[in-house]
Amino acid sequence: MGRISKNLSLDFTLVDDFSNLSDEEQTLVRKAEEAQTLSYAPYSKFRVGAAAMLDKGIVMYGSNKENASFPAGICAERNLLNTISDTHPTAIILAMAVIASPMEFELSDVLAPCGICRQVLCETEKVQGSSIKMIFKYSAISYVVIDGCENLLPFHFYLSELKR
């Protein structure tokens, strides 16, 4: 068969100002900003907050937590997903915002979840049977909105693929 080249593309919306986000998106961004102030990041000095809107109108948030025993820390996204799983196990996550506040440098590009968080987000979508809208800060005033975590990790995998 030889070699076949394929191209993957990412569909996203660039929102040029906070005021152009929907009310729900603004609420999530504010809660994620609040959450990042609760971060414990003495080593990386990279504070991250995440907030999620659940199907019952509940907004929950979480922050990253580091530990001197690397890699014992946890990212804000997974901290939040674990809390939702424990406190609202049947809830559907509709949307999530992720905001970072680096203490020693400035972000020059969109903040996006790490690979582990992308895999966990994709599996969360698969388990709940619906997409999660993701909102990331792009610059001081703009945001990226992505419909569905599968757009973040095109070659994700699930338990069904691990069975023999």
The CATH number given to whatever domain includes residue 153 is 3.40.140.10
d(Cα 164, Cα 153) in Å, to the nearest integer? 23
Neighbours of 48 (CB within 10 A): 27
Its domain, for residue 56, covers 13-162
Q: What is the pLDDT of residue 162?
A: 65
The token pair that represents 104 in the structure block: 């020693």
Q: What is the pLDDT of residue 138?
A: 82
If one counts the domains in the chain, the total is 1
Q: Is residue 144 part of a domain?
A: yes
Neighbours of 101 (CB within 10 A): 17
Q: Is residue 7 part of a domain?
A: no
Q: Is residue 1 part of a domain?
A: no
In the residue annotation, 34 being an active-site residue is answered as no
Q: What is the pLDDT of residue 107?
A: 74
Q: Is residue 6 part of a domain?
A: no
Q: Which residues of the chain carry a pLDDT beneath 70?
A: 1, 159-164
Q: Is residue 5 part of a domain?
A: no
- For 102-113, the pLDDT digits (tens) are 888 777 778 889
Q: One-letter amino acid identity for 143?
A: Y
Q: Which of 24, 34, 66, 77 is catalytic?
A: 77
